[in-house]
C-alpha cells in the first residue's frame, strides 16, 4: 500500500478489526449498490470513504428537492438540473475519493438485466424502496451464490439482514417466517409517501449495513462455516432496538427449491414509486433523441427541458420524465392505465 493510501486510511487501519491486511482486502473488493436514495447515498458515501475499491451504483430515478432532506450525496443544484441520482452520486463520490472506481448506471433493474448488471461483484447492497426489486435481488444473489444485505427504512424505523446464499436464511425464508408471526415495526403498506421517513433512521440502518459489508469483504473468500442470521431493527424515535434470529426454511422457494420467479419475470412488475404520486412505464431500448423530442413537444407541452440523461415536460396536471432508453415516470397519477395513455399520446409506442 503506497504512502498516500496509507495516510488516507490511517485511522481505519489503526482499528484492530481492520488493520492493513483488512484495508488491502477492501481496496480489492467490488460492490454493487442497487438504489441511491436515503439508504444508498449513505452506503455509497461510507464505503467510498472506507476505500472499497470498485462500486457500481444502479438507480432509476432523478434528484428532486424532496430528496435533499435525507439523501446525503445530493445538493440543490442536482435537484434544479434534474440529474439522475446515479450520475449525481458518481460525480460527488469521485470528488470524495478518486482512488475508488465509481460507476453510476441509470437503469431500473429488472429480470432481463439483473444478472448482467450484478455479476462479478463480491457483494450486493440493498438501497431500494420496494419488495419487488428486493425479491429480484434475492433471486439473483441466490442463483449467483453471491452475498447481499437487505435493508429498509420508513418513518423512524429500519431493518437490515445479511444474506449468504446456501449458508444463511434468505429473504424468502425471512418473509415466510414473518407471515407466521405477529408483525412488528411498520406495516407492509407503509411507505415514505404515507408515513414519511427520518434521515436519522435511514442513516442508522445504512451505517449498520455498511459495517456488515466491510466485515464480509474483509473475510477470506473460502469461508463457509455455518453463520447465524439475525434481523436487526432500530426505531430511532422510540429508542428501541431488536435483534431476532432468522432460521433457514427447509422448504424455501428460492434458496432450497431454486425457483426464481422474479428473476424469470413471472412476478408483476412494480409500477408505482415510493415517495411520489407516480407511475413508471417500462419501455426499453428505444434510444430516444431527447433534443429532437424536446423540439417536437414544445408546441404541445409546457415547461419542456432536457439534459444529456432525461427530458421533462408538463401536460395538464401531469409531469412526465422520459429517459433515453424510453423508460418514463408519469407524475400526478397512480393509475397505470392513465399513465400508459399519456405515454402513448406524447411519446408514441
- In DSSP terms, 305 is beta-bridged to 312
Q: What cell numbers appear for 4 in the block?
A: 498516500
Check 36, 173, 192, 255 and give the catalytic one.
192
What's the gap between Cα 26 and its chain centre?
21
For residues 286 and 323, the answer to whether their CB atoms sit within 8 Å is no
192 annotated active-site = yes
Q: What cell numbers appear for 280 in the block?
A: 413508471
Spatial separation of the C-alpha atoms in residues 243 and 231, rounded to whole Å: 6
Q: In angstroms, what CA-CA distances link 125 with 4, 90, 128, 167, 201? A: 28, 16, 9, 18, 17
Q: What cell numbers appear for 188 in the block?
A: 407492509
For residues 220 and 171, the answer to whether their CB atoms sit within 8 Å is no
Measured N-to-C along each axis, helices 171-179 and 131-144 cross at an angle, to the nearest 10 degrees, of 130
Q: In what order do the strands lie in the sheet with 302-306?
A: 278-281, 328-331, 318-323, 310-315, 302-306
What positions carry a catalytic annotation? 192
Amino acid at each position: 500500500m503506497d504512502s498516500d493510501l496509507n495516510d488516507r486510511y490511517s485511522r481505519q487501519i489503526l482499528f484492530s478489526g481492520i488493520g492493513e491486511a483488512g484495508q488491502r482486502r477492501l481496496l480489492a473488493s467490488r460492490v454493487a449498490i442497487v438504489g441511491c436514495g436515503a439508504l444508498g447515498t449513505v452506503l455509497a458515501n461510507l464505503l467510498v470513504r472506507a476505500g472499497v475499491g470498485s462500486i457500481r451504483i444502479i438507480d432509476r430515478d432523478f434528484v428532486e428537492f424532496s430528496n435533499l432532506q435525507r439523501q446525503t450525496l445530493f445538493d440543490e443544484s442536482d435537484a434544479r438540473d434534474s440529474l439522475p441520482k446515479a450520475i449525481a452520486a458518481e460525480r460527488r463520490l469521485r470528488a470524495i475519493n478518486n482512488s475508488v472506481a465509481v460507476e453510476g448506471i441509470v437503469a431500473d433493474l429488472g429480470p432481463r438485466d439483473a444478472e448482467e448488471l450484478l455479476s462479478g461483484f463480491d457483494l450486493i447492497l440493498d438501497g431500494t424502496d420496494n419488495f419487488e426489486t428486493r425479491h429480484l435481488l434475492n433471486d439473483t444473489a441466490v442463483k449467483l451464490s453471491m452475498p447481499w444485505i437487505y435493508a429498509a427504512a420508513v418513518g423512524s424505523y429500519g431493518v437490515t439482514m445479511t444474506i449468504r446464499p446456501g449458508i444463511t436464511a434468505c429473504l424468502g425464508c425471512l418473509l415466510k417466517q414473518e407471515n407466521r408471526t405477529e408483525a412488528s415495526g411498520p406495516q407492509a403498506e407503509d411507505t415514505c409517501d404515507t408515513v414519511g421517513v427520518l434521515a436519522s433512521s435511514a442513516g442508522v440502518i445504512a451505517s449498520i449495513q455498511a459495517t456488515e459489508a466491510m466485515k464480509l469483504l474483509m473475510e477470506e473468500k473460502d469461508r463457509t462455516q455455518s453463520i447465524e442470521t439475525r434481523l436487526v431493527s432500530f426505531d430511532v424515535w422510540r429508542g428501541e432496538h431488536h435483534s431476532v434470529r432468522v432460521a433457514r426454511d427447509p422448504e424455501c422457494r428460492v434458496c432450497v427449491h431454486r425457483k426464481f420467479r422474479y428473476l424469470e419475470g413471472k412476478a408483476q412488475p412494480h409500477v408505482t414509486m415510493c415517495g411520489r404520486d407516480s407511475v413508471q412505464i417500462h419501455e426499453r431500448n428505444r434510444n430516444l433523441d431527447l433534443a429532437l423530442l424536446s423540439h417536437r413537444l414544445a408546441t404541445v407541452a409546457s415547461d419542456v427541458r432536457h439534459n444529456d440523461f432525461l427530458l421533462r415536460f408538463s401536460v395538464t396536471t401531469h409531469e412526465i420524465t422520459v429517459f433515453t432508453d424510453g423508460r418514463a415516470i408519469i407524475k400526478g397519477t397512480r393509475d397505470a392505465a392513465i399513465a400508459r395513455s399519456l405515454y402513448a399520446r406524447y411519446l408514441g409506442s
